[in-house]
Chains A and B, each alone.
Chain A
């Protein structure tokens, strides 16, 4: 019985797991720079949802020093991240969630 409950629970968790939470937050939690700081750096450079999301996707698919929004000091310390293993669809899903969490629209008073 306990086995069945654990199985159902793990299945439920798996079904509701988010690509962003599983693949982005988990890694960034280990870094000294929080994930929201990266968002505001992107926003500072790309302004709109379309351009920000496009720039993020482009970097995650093919990370280079030139396309990174980190400054030189941070790049030297942490280096360029590894290429994503996520599919484009998963990547879009993760970026959309990331945008929805940190976007400025509707949050200013």
Chain B
């Protein structure tokens, strides 16, 4: 499914999807945490309630001992101790009378039972204030067994809940995306069908033009025929681009060692009519013996797109400079240039820096995909109304 999105969805849409899913997961986790805290506190309260009776008995025993000390205070002044718990006594104004607790300053006398750290505190108010004690505090260590059960349940049920919520989110995301995916799929089908239907007429036009070139024609007619040929080749290129786009994942590369100089000269010859029609001066500096290991058809497509862009976005009487060196190819035109803020987006599909010129904005998207396949680094330098230079290095 994701592979299909990769083909159909643009980067910004994928970013939106990721953002949506992160936000959904975040709120799910927040909700889960809220329930986890609530469950933990409920279980803690239940545990404390179950301990209440036992602690109350211990406190009563301690009160009885305090009574003994109170009655015989002049004879014995030893505070009663018990190995099962620690204790303390406070008067009615919360002043400590005596304490065996580790942190007697933190005792909350307003509660009757509570937990702090791994200790349970129980506070009992005796009927009579033996030794002046209005509050008798009993402190016992919590075994922590209930916590293990709580954590186990939280991991199991929390995990199931999280999984279910994420699955639901995934389903929801599909539901939201369905209309958009259908629209994209319709567009894709339309492009594929159009591409298929264009094949025969474009082929027919080009073959007939080539046949007519061999016949005797007057100059006026020859010029007209040349213009038709340029137009037909433009359509043919577009057709090839569309085929590449629709079949990009199905084309298996047949790599070979390509003589780059010969290939560039061949492609310049191919667009010569186009260059001539715009009166563009071509300058070339092509180094011999430069070879690139790649699929010839793909490199042809790459160079065709770069050159045709350099012509398309050039001005009448402009210039085109092609330089080839050992690991570098530069195609520079004297065109209208591209604004800096648009440079980073021009490799996106259907993105066009200049909408005044025809096209779907798929050329550079194809260039970027081919370059990516063969690890070719593309850099674009441009100055508005002056030039655009595309550099390929490998």
Q: Which A residues fall within an 8 A CB radius of B? A: 36, 40, 43-52, 104-105, 107-109
B21 contacts A by Cβ under 8 Å: no
B201 contacts A by Cβ under 8 Å: no
> Given A50-B93, A51-B92, do A45 and B129 touch, yes or no (CB 8 Å)?
yes
Contacts of B128 in A (CB 8 A): 44-45
A-B contact sample (18 more), CB < 8 A, given A52-B132, A104-B131: A43-B70, A43-B129, A44-B70, A45-B128, A47-B91, A47-B92, A48-B93, A48-B132, A104-B73, A104-B97, A104-B98, A105-B95, A107-B77, A108-B69, A108-B77, A108-B79, A108-B131, A109-B79
B347 contacts A by Cβ under 8 Å: no
> Given A48-B93, A51-B92, A104-B97, do A43 and B77 touch, yes or no (CB 8 Å)?
no
Which range holds the interface residue count of chain B? 20 to 34
Interface contact tally, CB-CB below 8 A: 54
Per the 8 Å Cβ criterion, residues 93-108 of B in contact with A are: 93, 95, 97-98
> Given A47-B92, A48-B91, A48-B92, do A104 and B132 touch, yes or no (CB 8 Å)?
yes
In the bound assembly, the distance between CA atoms of A107 and B147 in angstroms comes to: 41
Of B98, B128, B132, most buried by chain A (CB within 10 Å of CB) is: B132
CB <8 Å contact, A47 and B129: yes
Per the 8 Å Cβ criterion, residues 335-377 of B in contact with A are: none
In the bound assembly, the distance between CA atoms of A45 and B131 in angstroms comes to: 10
Contacts of B69 in A (CB 8 A): 108
CB <8 Å contact, B74 and A47: no
CB <8 Å contact, B77 and A109: yes
Contacts of A47 in B (CB 8 A): 91-93, 129, 132-134
B122 contacts A by Cβ under 8 Å: no
> Given A104-B97, A109-B79, do A40 and B73 touch, yes or no (CB 8 Å)?
yes
Contacts of A108 in B (CB 8 A): 69, 77-79, 97-98, 131
Per the 8 Å Cβ criterion, residues 122-176 of B in contact with A are: 128-134
Contacts of A109 in B (CB 8 A): 77-79
CB <8 Å contact, B74 and A36: yes
A107 CB, nearest partner CB in chain B, Å? 5
Contacts of B133 in A (CB 8 A): 47
In the bound assembly, the distance between CA atoms of A70 and B78 in angstroms comes to: 27
CB <8 Å contact, B132 and A43: yes
Could you list 22 A-B pairs, sorted by A, with CB under 8 Å? A36-B74, A40-B70, A40-B71, A40-B73, A43-B131, A44-B130, A46-B129, A47-B91, A47-B93, A47-B133, A48-B91, A48-B95, A48-B132, A48-B134, A49-B95, A50-B93, A51-B93, A52-B132, A105-B95, A108-B69, A108-B79, A109-B77
Chain B residue at minimal CB-CB distance from A102: B73
Chain B residue at minimal CB-CB distance from A36: B74
A103 CB, nearest partner CB in chain B, Å? 8
In the bound assembly, the distance between CA atoms of A108 and B91 in angstroms comes to: 14
In the bound assembly, the distance between CA atoms of A49 and B129 in angstroms comes to: 12
In the bound assembly, the distance between CA atoms of A45 and B78 in angstroms comes to: 22
Contacts of B79 in A (CB 8 A): 108-109
Of B74, B95, B128, B129, most buried by chain A (CB within 10 Å of CB) is: B129
